[in-house]
Amino acid sequence: MNKIHVVAAIAAGLVAVLSAQQQSYAQYGDGIPVGSPGISEETLEKCTALGIDRTQCTESNVLLKERGNLLGGGSGTGFIAKEAGQMVTVIGILGAIFGGVAAAFFLMGKGRQVKTV
């Protein structure tokens, strides 16, 4: 190999190692510094007041936390049902649908005869 190729390979390896090291510092830093793009001093104060960790401090997290406080800690509407009677009704309807489909497949399978030669 040529000496120039060896020097170029070492330089490329050094650049790769240094760029990876810089990324790891950015990933495992001690928080978001004041003055970084998108984070204002007011937002950091709101995060502190709402109990949001400094590393998770964003405008969307502040708005989400404030919305949760206004609605009493939840999204507002239950996904399926709020009461036990409603839940039993939903389970009964789903059971009837899936049971009907299973019965139809069973009856279709019974109606066909497999002939062996």
Tens place of pLDDT for every residue, the chain, 117 residues?
678 888 888 888 887 777 765 555 455 555 555 445 567 888 888 888 888 888 888 888 888 888 776 655 555 556 665 677 888 888 999 999 999 999 999 998 887 766 776
Rounded CA gap, 67 and 88, in Å? 31
Q: What is the pLDDT of residue 81?
A: 59
Domain with 65, as residue range(s), is: 32-74
Query: Do both 36 and 57 map to the same domain?
Result: yes
The answer to whether 90 and 80 are in contact (CB under 8 A) is: yes
**Cα-only R_g, the chain:** 31
Query: How many domains are there within the chain?
Result: 3
**Is 1 in the same domain as 17?**
yes
Find all residues with CB under 8 Å of 53, minimum gap 6, and list them: 47
> How far is residue 47's CA from residue 31's CA, in Å, rounded to a whole number?
13
Asked whether residue 116 is domain-assigned, the answer is no
Question: Does the residue 69 lie in any domain?
Answer: yes
Asked whether residue 90 is domain-assigned, the answer is yes
Question: Both 36 and 68 in a single domain?
Answer: yes
CB within 8 Å of 59: residues ≥ 6 apart = 38, 43
Q: Specify the pLDDT at position 44.
A: 85
Kindly state whether residues 40 and 66 are assigned to the same domain: yes
